[in-house]
Structure 1
Amino acid sequence: MIFGNVKDLEDYNFLPEEIKRCFAYAKTHDLIGYEKGSHTIDGDDLFVNIVEYETTARENRFWEAHRNYLDLHLMLRGKEQIDLNFIDNMEQKEFVEKDDFLPLEGPENAHVVLTDKDFLICYPKDGHRTAIAAGDPVVIKKAIFKIKIK
């Protein structure tokens, strides 16, 4: 996992071109104005899901990981905590191929708090539990770029 802010992108030149492409797309498109839902960038290889929801208590949320796509969470508006742990530290449930969804159970090992223009890149070994309130619940808007692993 990689946690940062877009103002510091020059420090992330080591990132693969597919991830840099997401940041370039975000810079040239008004994502805050996008409707909720999935938006194609490059077919199944790269797309962005725009989500808007109210953060909540940790016990109301679920763990997940993915095998076929990397997630790049980019906060557009609001404040959200994301709990993290490596999937090898957790109980892995049955993988749902059509949704690229690996349900997990277990405790958090760490967490990050995303605010405006913060990002979190989650790789296949990175379990994550999103939508946790960092303080009082708030409605957030976030772009989640899905980058196909080749």
Structure 2
Amino acid sequence: MIYGNIHQKETYAFLPVPVQRCLDLARSSGFASLTPGSHPIDGDSLFVNVAAYTTGPEETRSWEAHKDYLDIHVLSEGEEYIDLGFIESMTCGAYHKDSDYQEVTGTARARVLMRPGDFLICYREDAHKPGIAAGEPAPLKKGIFKVRI
């Protein structure tokens, strides 16, 4: 996993070109105006799912992991905590190939606070539990870029 901010462009210049493309798009003026839903960028190799929801208590949120795509969470409005754990220390349930969703349960090893402009790259090995309220439940909007591995 890599946690950073989209405005630190030089710091993350080492990242692969498709990831750089996602961060460039997140820096663009049109990113914040995207409506909720899926937006293609490069077919099924690269797209962004824009989500708008209300954060909630930790116990109401679910763990997840992915096998076919990197998840790049980029917050545009609001804030949330995302819990993190390594997949090998979690209990894995069913894998849903059609939605690239790995059921996961376990205990967090770390937690990051996401604010506008922050990004979190989750690789195959990174279980994550997004949507945890940072204080009281509140609305947020973010893009979840999907980069085919």
Shorter-chain TM-score range: over 0.9
**RMSD over equivalenced CA pairs, Å:** 0.8
Which residue pairs with 1:63 in the alignment? 63
Q: 1:99-144 CA distances to partner (integer Å, 9 max, x unpaired)?
A: 1000101111101010010000000000000100011111000000
Which residue pairs with 1:119 in the alignment? 119
Shifted more, 131-140 versus 27-36: the winner is: 27-36
Identity of aligned residues (%): 44
Number of aligned residue pairs: give it. 149
Return the TM-score normalized by structure 2: 0.97
Return the TM-score normalized by structure 1: 0.97
CA distance in 2, matches of 1:48, 1:63: 20
- Secondary structure of the equivalent of 2:14? coil
Structure with bigger helix share is 1
Partners of 2:56 and 2:131 within 8 A in 1: yes
Task: List runs of 5+ in structure 1 lacking aligned partners.
Answer: none
Which residue pairs with 1:133 in the alignment? 133
CA distance in 2, matches of 1:48, 1:103: 21
Alignment of 1:80-95 (within 5 A): 80-95=80-95
How far 1:17 moved relative to its partner?
Answer: 0.6
Which residue pairs with 2:76 in the alignment? 76
CA distance in 2, matches of 1:115, 1:26: 13
Partners of 2:25 and 2:31 within 8 A in 1: no
Which residue pairs with 1:36 in the alignment? 36
Task: List runs of 5+ in structure 2 lacking aligned partners.
Answer: none
Which residue pairs with 1:12 in the alignment? 12
Q: 1:21-61 CA distances to partner (integer Å, 9 max, x unpaired)?
A: 11122233512211100000000000000000000001101
Partners of 2:6 and 2:26 within 8 A in 1: no
